[in-house]
Amino acid sequence: MKKYLKSSLVLMLLLSVSCTSVSNSEESSANKAENIQNQISEDTYKNWVEVGKIEDGVAILTADKNNLIESLNQNLYVTTGKSTRVNDVSIERIDDFFYLLFRSKKQRVTFYVQKSKDSNILRAAATTVCTTSECTQEPLGCIPKYDITPAGQDGIGTCTPCANGGKCTKTVSGKSLISN
């Protein structure tokens, strides 16, 4: 009986320590995730460019159009080696998200835009872009999509596919592709 009691006590002690380790491990993982989230949050707008604001519920482009267009044309050429010549830019709301859309007759280049948490300022995630010449008329085709928060982090996210099966290219740069 003593042997059984001792074995039971040892087993209970081991289970207790084991449960504590798992709990501490889970807490440690939760703290690590929180710390990573805090680091990302503090640096969220590092490579974002202020492009507009919300006024009376409407997105207004406030950045200089010519600067945006010229900087994109130049930086995409340097980054991809392909000559991109867009000639128009606007902020549009698509499927409850904002996007900075650059257009030419044959091409569309799209950046994700997010409203600042503490104001009505709109900023574009300026290092990740989706480009297409094959589904420019599709509102949901070839636009940046972020399933992970915070949206717009460098290299995270995807470009939505073209519904018509056309080509969509995601470009990620180490520096901003646009300037205001």
C-alpha to C-alpha distance for 114 and 48, rounded to whole angstroms: 9
Token pair of 171 as six digits: 């470009």
C-alpha to C-alpha distance for 177 and 96, rounded to whole angstroms: 24
Residue 164: its pLDDT value, please?
97
Neighbouring residues of 49: CB distance < 8 A, sequence distance ≥ 6: 63, 123, 124, 126, 176, 178, 179, 180
Residue that is written with structure tokens 């995270």 in the block: 156
Residue 45: its pLDDT value, please?
59
What's the rounded mean pLDDT across residues 18-43?
38
Q: Mind listing the pLDDT tens digit for each residue in 105-118?
A: 999 999 999 988 87
Q: What is the DSSP letter of 167?
A: -
Model pTM score: 0.72
162 SS3 class: coil
C-alpha to C-alpha distance for 38 and 49, rounded to whole angstroms: 21
